[in-house]
Amino acid sequence: MGVEVSRLSNGLTVATETLPSLESVALGAWVKSGARNERDEEHGMAHLLEHMAFKGTKRRTAFEIASEIENVGGEINAATSVETTSYYARVLSDDVPLAVDILADILQESEFDPEELEREQHVILQEIGAAHDTPDDIVFDRFTETAFRHQTIGRSILGTPETVKSFTSKQLHNFIQRQYAAERMVIVAAGDIKHDNFVREVERQLGGFRAKAESNIPQYAQYVGGDFREDRDLMDAQIVLGFEGRAYHVRDFYASQVLSMILGGGMSSRLFQEVREKRGLCYSVYAFHWGFSDTGIFGVHAATGQSDIAKLVPVIIDELQKAGENIMQEELDRARAQYRAGLIMSAESPASRASQIARQLLLFGRPIAKEELMERLAALTVERLTDLSSRLFSTKPTLTAVGPVGTLAPYEAILDSLAGPQTTARKLAV
């Protein structure tokens, strides 16, 4: 039957997809509000709010929230991203009304008890400390901070110890009042679900949810680029090299996704073969492309020992520049097959499918059929990908490195090397 979509009188979007042969349902509420919707003094609040979701409502204690869902063998959780926050559950189909009731209770009646808040603030301070002590986490935090300097989109989702400790229950309530409303939410279920029954249940629980939130359009993102290095006494170095990417809505978004697969999406990718297999310069290397509503970022992450840093970056840059000169048809076909397989495999997981439908509704206002995505992939050509490569990798780079990075070439030398594809190794010699 595909995805069925209904809209309640208050503007809340409700969508379902029935997946044959399943006896369970993945369902949740996705809110178009994340870390970049925070004000300056609210850094980390969206993430703290996600943590506090299960700490008690007017009807349920924290223990009752957990025990009620687990008494029927279900699971419940939440997640915060740059642009969205989600609250989701997985239950057997007979227990969908209970899951909807608990999710609605959390969204509408959370107490944010001061004692619970103080405990959870302490937990998040530990989380911040753990992230700082994990080089392959902190290098990505520094990467987005450098790429989007002094902007909410570039800030760590966790916040800082100072901001997290400063938050009060009143501030959390105010954030929800300002950000959460039916027009900015979607409720999605995938699995053994009947659309009309689900819509009636959501209407009963959330039909009275406020229709509109205070207008708070996030600051328009401006890619800046730049250089960040932190010399640490570690066995290996974490390096991320990135460039301005493409937003979800623009023509080159899917081409950028496929290009990241060709360059570093698996063991047959260019970077893995050249950097790891042929030269042994690192133990991990991959490419990625992250899309946002108004921008994106394309990057390469590598982890290597101190002795190979000086040789690693020139090889990576050479591979990026070669992509602007030639991409083979077999590489494009392989990447398309990977993308297609990923879509099909994720559709076989109700949780992944519900999340995918929710993201599409929030971004595009409608679910995107698999066939439409396949058509977009089929329209890609090697000429278009080489043209995209030459444009992507001519933007100002973002370089972040954590670890024993003293032999890494100066940022100005890397800038210079990107302007001359044939002499990278010589230009970056240290």
**Residue 428: predicted pLDDT:** 55
Rounded Cα distance between 300 and 76, Å, is 34
Rounded Cα distance between 123 and 102, Å, is 23
Closest C-alpha to 314, from 264, 288, 289, 279: 279
Structure tokens of 413?
Answer: 């030398």
CA distances from 86 to 3, 30, 77, 170, 204 (A): 19, 4, 8, 21, 20
**Residue 302: predicted pLDDT:** 97
Structure tokens of 423?
Answer: 């002499």
Closest C-alpha to 121, from 150, 177, 160: 160
Structure tokens of 216?
Answer: 């708070």
**Residue 149: predicted pLDDT:** 96
**Residue 219: predicted pLDDT:** 83
Where residue 11 falls (left for φ over 0; alpha for ψ -120 to 50; beta otherwise) is: left
Structure tokens of 382?
Answer: 């090697």
**Residue 419: predicted pLDDT:** 83
**Residue 347: predicted pLDDT:** 85
Rounded Cα distance between 101 and 383, Å, is 52
* % pLDDT > 90, the chain: 90
pLDDT block averages, 10 residues each, the chain of length 430: 93 96 96 94 95 94 96 97 96 98 97 95 96 94 97 96 96 94 96 97 97 81 96 94 95 95 95 96 96 96 94 95 95 94 90 96 92 92 96 95 94 88 48
Reported residue count of the chain is 430
Is 397 in contact with 239 (CB distance < 8 Å)? no
Rounded Cα distance between 333 and 307, Å, is 36
For 348-361, the pLDDT digits (tens) are 899 999 999 999 99
For 3-35, the pLDDT digits (tens) are 999 999 999 999 999 998 899 999 999 999 999
Active-site choice (17, 38, 42, 50): 50
CA distances from 401 to 236, 248, 312, 313, 397 (A): 11, 27, 12, 11, 13
CA distances from 91 to 65, 68, 121, 268 (A): 14, 11, 29, 38
For 316-366, the pLDDT digits (tens) are 999 999 999 999 999 999 999 999 999 889 888 999 999 999 999 999 999
Rounded Cα distance between 378 and 361, Å, is 23
Closest C-alpha to 29, from 137, 207, 184: 184
Is 184 in contact with 361 (CB distance < 8 Å)? no
Query: Is 50 in the active site?
Result: yes
**Residue 280: predicted pLDDT:** 95
**Residue 429: predicted pLDDT:** 46
Closest C-alpha to 107, from 184, 176, 37: 176
**Residue 215: predicted pLDDT:** 66
pTM, two decimal places: 0.92
Domains in the chain, please, with CATH?
1-33+75-104+180-213 (3.30.830.10), 37-55+110-179 (3.30.830.10)
